[in-house]
Structure 1
Amino acid sequence: MTDINAAPEQPPVPQMQVLAQFTRDFSFENPRAPNSLRMDSRPEVDLGVEMSAKGRPDGLFEVDIKLTVKASTPDGPMFAIELVYGGLFQLGNIPEQMIEPTLLVECPRYLFPFARRIVADATADGGFTPPFYLEPIDFGALYVAQKGNIQSQQTIGQA
Structure 2
Amino acid sequence: MASTEQTASSDKQFAIQKLYVKDLSFESPNTPTVFTEKWEPNVDINLNSNAKKAPQDLFEVSITVTVTVKNNDSVAYLVEATQVGIFGVKGFSEPELGPLLGSFCPSVLFPYLREVVSEVVTKGGFPPMLLNPVNFDALYAQHSQQNDISKAN
Q: TM-score, normalised by structure 1?
A: 0.84
For structure 1, the 5+ residue unaligned runs are 1-7
Aligned counterparts of 1:60 and 1:108: Cα–Cα separation in 2: 15
Q: Describe how 1:9-158 pairs up with structure 2 within 5 A.
A: 9=3, 10-11=6-7, 12-13=9-10, 14-38=12-36, 40-129=38-127, 131-155=128-152, 158=153
Aligned counterparts of 1:151 and 1:47: Cα–Cα separation in 2: 26
4+ runs of 1 displaced by more than 6 Å?
A: none
Q: TM-score, normalised by structure 2?
A: 0.87
Cα deviation digits, residues 70-100 of structure 1 (max 9, x gap): 1112241111111111010011332331101
* Contact 2:15-2:89 at 8 Å conserved across structures: yes
Secondary structure class of the residue paired with 1:24: strand
* Contact 2:40-2:72 at 8 Å conserved across structures: no
Equivalent pairs counted in the alignment come to: 148
Secondary structure class of the residue paired with 1:106: helix
Q: Which has the larger radius of gyration?
A: 1
The answer to which structure has the higher helix fraction is 2
Percent sequence identity over aligned pairs: 30
* Contact 2:63-2:82 at 8 Å conserved across structures: yes
